[in-house]
């Protein structure tokens, strides 16, 4: 049986792989390929955030009563990452490789720290808090559209 931790950590790895591919594409000169790679990564991240913000975080908050705790920190970090997504998209539109790679480097550090907090703290807390509803929460997250 999947747990929230295993399911969401696996999704982190999927997003990380798409990020790596998008960053690798930036070493080339084909801006269409770079844009496509970035869009695949962004779609993946937006879907991941949506699963957390629409399903996981509200369920966790309802069961724990923690509305200003770790989920609030994660939401604030999502906002910061979305700003970096926009900056990377703008860099692609302007075909500015240096700007793209600079924003990607900042995003990578932020994602690593963010994912570590989720994987080593929040998801484990959610596994415990939502143990009785694990399958329902996982089904709801799987049902979230992109």
Model pTM score:
0.94
Q: Which residue has the tokens 């807390």?
A: 125
Q: Which domains does the chain have, with CATH numbers?
A: 4-143 (1.20.120)
Q: What is the three-class DSSP state of 2?
A: coil
Q: What percent of the chain has pLDDT over 90?
A: 90
Helix axes 4-25, 31-51, angle to 10 degrees: 160
Res. 88: pLDDT tops 60: yes
Q: What is the three-class DSSP state of 69?
A: coil
Tokens of 46: 């937006």
pLDDT at position 27, please?
86
Res. 1: pLDDT tops 70: no
């Amino acid at each position: 049986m999947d747990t929230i931790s295993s399911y969401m950590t696996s999704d982190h790895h999927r997003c990380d792989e798409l990020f790596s591919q998008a960053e690798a594409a930036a070493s080339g000169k084909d801006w269409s390929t770079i844009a496509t790679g970035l869009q695949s990564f962004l779609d993946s991240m937006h879907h991941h955030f949506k699963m957390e913000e629409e399903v996981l975080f509200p369920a966790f908050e309802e069961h724990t009563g923690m509305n200003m705790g770790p989920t609030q920190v994660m939401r604030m970090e999502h906002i910061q990452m979305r700003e970096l997504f926009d900056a990377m998209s703008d860099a692609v539109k302007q075909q500015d490789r240096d700007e793209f790679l600079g924003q990607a480097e900042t995003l990578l550090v932020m994602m690593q720290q963010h994912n570590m907090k989720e994987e080593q703290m929040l998801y484990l807390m959610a596994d415990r808090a939502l143990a009785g509803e694990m399958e329902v929460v996982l089904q709801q997250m799987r049902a979230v559209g992109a």
